[in-house]
Amino acid sequence: MSSQPRPSKSPRPNWVSTRNPCKACAPLGAALVMRGIEGALPFLHGSQGCATYMRRYLISHFREPMDIATSGFSEATTIFGGEKNLCQGLDNVTSQYHPALIGIATTCLTETIGEDMHGMLHQYRARPGEADDPLLVHVSTPAYSGTHIDGFNDAVRAVVEQLAEAGHAPSAYLENFVNVFPGLVSSEDLRFLKEVCADFALPATLFPDYSETLDGPSMEIYKKIPEGGTSLAALRATPSAKASIELGRTLRQKRTAASFLQERFSVPAKRIGLPIGINESDSFFAALEKLSGHKTPEKYTRERGRLVDAYVDGHKYLFGKRALIIGDEDMVVGLTSFLAETGVLPVLCASGGKSGAFARSIAEVTTHLREPAMVREGVDFMTIAEELALKDLKPDFVIGSSKAAKLARTLGVPLIRLGFPIHDRIGGQRILHLGYRGAQQLFDLVVNTLLEVKQDSNSIGYSYL
């Protein structure tokens, strides 16, 4: 069949093109972050299509309205510069949406023609007679550099950088609070993080927070900007926190919001892996104990206890099962840590991202494995398929976003849909990945998926396993 590549002569050809990408572009991550600010509207400086495509991509995952404005470049704009469109766009968005903040991300086009965003926004703010302007923040997200995850993390940092004000913490924030930068996780994960912090009596600024804006209730009247999100007051007060927690082992050292707050305002930064599975969650809960001065509430120790008990109940179904794990780097590291601690063998951990810290992070969370997992960063789905065939890896199941569906189907093994994006199932925004509770759900899901395979592929049709 012409759609299948013919076997190549060299064992691993260096493909120049990207074939079935395992990543999206940077502005998408930035737009998602802007949706996690209270009263904010995401705005892309570039062509109309970027906003529309990213809206569709995000809508298909969250199944929620996701308005992204754009300056809508034309040919003339590209030649003469986008200032007029930017100003008109900001005016129109302001008059239509009345946002408290407009979060502007650039695109490949505006980065390539070298738009002076700083200067143009300065001019815009300085124009006469517009006292009630929304706040404008801007993040540079050239789509030819990095992935949606880089755009996401850069936007988190840019917003914090541009809004942070030393010593301006309102009274509500004066008490021993922390900043929590969770990275790209589900709406349910964000709700969970807020719940945990509240249970520790630890006031926390969670950013971004699209737990409500991208998983909200049914409405009678359309809300132009959905309720929820990190408040501007909280974002201004980030330098007054007693510490920042950032989740993700592969975050780039100098490029995060937490590292900025540490360097500029001496807010200690604590980096922990995404708390997926018992080991990574233990580190997270230990950090919360230290920062709050409270012991882990019994609710969570009981969750942990039940989870260990479940691991024991199910360990034989999982031991030695071979998993292919694909997705955003930190999600893959977390899931690998979880799977490895249950007895699953991660045979290949792959990501379209290329932080440089992926292999090291996987090694860190799989030290007890007798065979180290193979790790591939910056790869696409066809390369992964070729790698599997070349090394005869034969996974029993795949864990990843729904973009892995085609690959799993070709392999004839189940795909357990986790992470982002999930475009072929409902409820991607409501999957809980984090904490003991999240691990419990993941564990049951993985075991039951494998039991189902065992049951369905068996001619006897056991009804008791």
Partner 1 sequence: MADILRERERQVYRKGDLQPFQLDCEKQSAAGSVSQRACVFCGSRVVLYPIADALHIVHGPIGCASYTWDIRGALSSGPELHRLSFSTDLQEMDVVQGGEKKLYAGLCELIDAHQPKAAFVYATCIVGVIGDDVEAVCKRVSLEKGIPVLPVHSEGFKGTKKDGYRAACDALLKLVGTGSPEGITPHSINILGDFNLAGETWMIRDYYKRMGVEVVSCITGDGRVDEIRRAHGAALNVVQCSGSMTHLAKQLEEKYGTPFIRVSYFGVEDMSKSLYDVARHFKDKEMMKRTQAMVREELERLMPQLADYKRALTGKRAAIYVGGAFKAFSLVAALRHLGMTTVMVGSQTGNKDDYEQLRELCDEGTIIADDSNPLELSSFLEEKDVDVFIGGVKERPIAYKLGIGFCDHNHERKEALAGFEGMLNFAREVYSSVMSPVWRLTPRRRGSNLEVVK
Taking the least distance from each CB to partner 1, the nearer of 74 and 458 is 74
80 binds partner 1 (CB under 8 A): no
Half-sphere exposure of 410 (CA within 13 A, CB side): 14
Q: Does 48 contact partner 1 by CB under 8 A?
A: yes
Stretch that binds partner 1, among 1-9, 181-189, 201-209, 369-377 (CB under 8 A): 1-9
By CB under 8 A, tell whether 72 contacts partner 1. Answer: yes
Query: Considering only residues 33, 77, 213, 245, which one is a binding residue for partner 1 as defined by CB under 8 A?
Result: 77
Q: Whose Cβ is closer to partner 1: residue 66's or residue 272's? A: 66
Burial of 39 (0-12, 13-18, 19+ CB in 10 A): buried
- Residue 8 touching partner 1 (CB under 8 A): yes
Contacts of partner 1 in 194-253 (CB under 8 A): 216-222, 224
Residue 70 pairs in a beta bridge with 44
Which of 206, 229, 68 is CA-nearest to residue 141? Answer: 68
Q: Does 100 participate in binding partner 1 (rule CB under 8 A)?
A: no
Site size for partner 1 (CB under 8 A): 81
Q: How far apart are CA 395 and CA 444, in angstroms?
A: 19
Q: Quick check: 270 binds partner 1 (CB under 8 A)?
A: no
> Where in 118-157 is the site for partner 1 (CB under 8 A)?
142-145, 147
Smaller CB separation from partner 1, 108 or 362 = 108
Pairing of strands 135-139, 101-106: parallel
**E strands, 116-259, in order:** 135-139, 178-181, 204-206, 243-247
Which segment (84-92, 166-174, 232-240, 445-453) binds partner 1 by CB under 8 A? Answer: 84-92
Question: Which of 30, 85, 139, 250 is the binder for partner 1 (CB under 8 A)?
Answer: 85
Binding partner 1 (rule: CB under 8 A), the pick from 2, 266, 367, 463 is 2
| Contact between 456 and partner 1 per CB under 8 A | no
**Cis omega (within 30 of 0) for bond into 421:** yes
10 near partner 1 (CB under 8 A): no
Q: Does the footprint of partner 1 cover residue 343 (CB under 8 A)?
A: no
Distances (CA, A) of 209 to 37, 111, 176, 182, 279: 7, 27, 20, 9, 25
Residue 81, judged by CB atoms within 10 A of its CB (0-12, 13-18, 19+), counts as middle
Q: Report 380-399 residues binding partner 1 (CB under 8 A).
A: 382
**Tokens representing 180?**
């929590």
Quote the CA–CA distance of 333 and 268 in Å, as a whole number.
24
**CB 48 within 8 Å of CB 82:** no
- Whole-angstrom Cα distance, residue 232 to residue 368? 44
Interaction of residue 88 with partner 1, rule CB under 8 A: yes
Tokens of 82: 């986008």
User: Which of 56, 294, 425, 454 forms a contact with partner 1 (CB under 8 A)?
Assistant: 56
Distance CA 378, CA 356 (A): 9
**Sites for partner 1 among residues 397-426 (CB under 8 A):** 403, 406
In the complex with partner 1, the residue whose CB is nearer, 77 or 292, is: 77
66 is an interface residue for partner 1 by CB under 8 A: yes
